[in-house]
Structure 1
Amino acid sequence: MSALIRDRKIVADDRQWLDDESALPEDGTPVIVSWERWQTLLDGTTDDGRYPEVGVQMPNTLDLAEGWQQIAQRPLIALDFPAFPDGRAYSQARLLRDRYGFSGEVRACGEAVVRDQLFNLARCGVNAFQLRADQDPQGCLAAFETFSDAYQPTCDGIEPIWKRRRRAGPTPA
């Protein structure tokens, strides 16, 4: 079983991953379902809050402009990072935070959720990381401190170096 880092702390996963054939728990246990299962639950409507404890795992091929109304009220959106060269879920995370103002949990899951990626995932708005099974959770926590400066602006609040330099004025000769 893989470890979960949420808000830069190693925590127990309080959600159950539910396969598409299993019934939703009647006791309100928090679960994560696939996008396909979520579409079946909604039956073509928008998210009306009927399932307050259901998180949704989105495929990285989903266009958020088309799917936002179906996930806007979810407490958790899990993004799929299946391979290192596939950066589509990075874009989804940024869009969720920056364009759509999503304030719930954005969880990264998949084969590419490893220490080397955590700092950049966090910069894009991911706040929970379902680590690949071979990753050391304690070692992964150090990844958030690997870099102190950034070159690009993102939703994490780190001021890019170029903005600080511009504000400081010209460098003396």
Structure 2
Amino acid sequence: MGKHPHIIKLDRSNGQREIVANHWLRVAEGCDDTIPAHTLLPLKEWLERRDELLGRADVGIWFAPDDEPEALGQDAARLSIIAVDFPAFTDGRGFSIGRLLRERYGFAGELRAVGDVFKDTLLYLRRCGFDAFEIRADKDVEEAAKGLDDFSEFYQGAADQPLPLFRRRGG
């Protein structure tokens, strides 16, 4: 699984997107004593070093599919970036993690999908609150971004549009 040099980022206030350089490094296991800027740590390591890292906006965390958002709890609202790993297309646990982080734990920073992320998943990820997407290394990031345009309207409410269609239409 390679790292794509660019990510797709959404502005949640207006839905505009751009493709930008990926400056964050996701590490699989612990760092030495000093954690460099723009590092995404595994949830377990971040929890072990919580007191040291909580105030650092240049350090984020990443969730594995079997990590529980409850372990992070209200600290989520104090972080600037959280990534969620999707190791395989058939593993949808990350969708729930993203939604819980946004809706239950008040996370307002960048919520990034990483791993097996490609065009067909982007729109559904956005609906669950994700606003940054690290596309699989073997996929074209420009082509993948078009997946955000697959549908223009939704019946159901979700993290990106809390009101269902009948409420938005006034009926």
State the 1:133 CA deviation.
Answer: 0.8
Q: Match of 2:13?
A: none
Which of 19, 29, 43 is the aligned partner of 1:10? 19
CA RMSD of the aligned region, Å? 2.4
Q: Within the alignment, does 1:68 sit opposite 2:73 as a pair?
A: yes
The normalised TM-score by structure 2 is 0.81
Which of 57, 60, 78 is the aligned partner of 1:52? 57
The alignment covers a number of residue pairs equal to 162
Q: Which runs of 4 or more aligned residues in structure 1 lie more than 3 Å from their structure 2 counterparts after TM superposition?
A: 69-72, 158-166
Q: Is the 8 A contact 1:4 1:10 kept in 2?
A: yes
State the alpha-carbon separation in 1 of the partners of residues 110 and 130 from structure 2.
8
Letter in 1 for 2:146: A
Letter in 2 for 1:23: D
SS in 1 for 2:111: strand
> Structure 1 vs Structure 2: percent identity of aligned residues?
34
State the alpha-carbon separation in 2 of the partners of residues 157 and 24 from structure 1.
42
Q: Match of 2:89?
A: 84
Change over 3 Å in CA distance of 1:153–1:78 after alignment to 2: same
State the alpha-carbon separation in 1 of the partners of residues 28 and 66 from structure 2.
20
Q: Match of 2:49?
A: 41
Letter in 2 for 1:38: W
State the alpha-carbon separation in 1 of the partners of residues 33 and 140 from structure 2.
32
State the 1:90 CA deviation.
Answer: 0.5
Which structure has the larger Rg over C-alpha atoms?
Answer: 1
Letter in 2 for 1:143: G
Change over 3 Å in CA distance of 1:119–1:5 after alignment to 2: same
State the alpha-carbon separation in 1 of the partners of residues 76 and 162 from structure 2.
28
State the 1:67 CA deviation.
Answer: 2.5
**Stretches of structure 2 lacking an aligned partner (at least 5 in a row):** 11-16
Letter in 2 for 1:117: T
The normalised TM-score by structure 1 is 0.80
State the alpha-carbon separation in 2 of the partners of residues 98 and 35 from structure 1.
19
SS in 1 for 2:49: helix
Q: Residues 23-172 of structure 1 correspond to what in structure 2 (within 5 A)? A: 23=32, 25=34, 29-42=37-50, 49-111=54-116, 113-157=117-161, 159-163=163-167, 167=171
Q: Is the 8 A contact 1:150 1:159 kept in 2?
A: no
SS in 2 for 1:90: helix
Comparing 83-92 with 15-24, greater Cα deviation is found at: 15-24
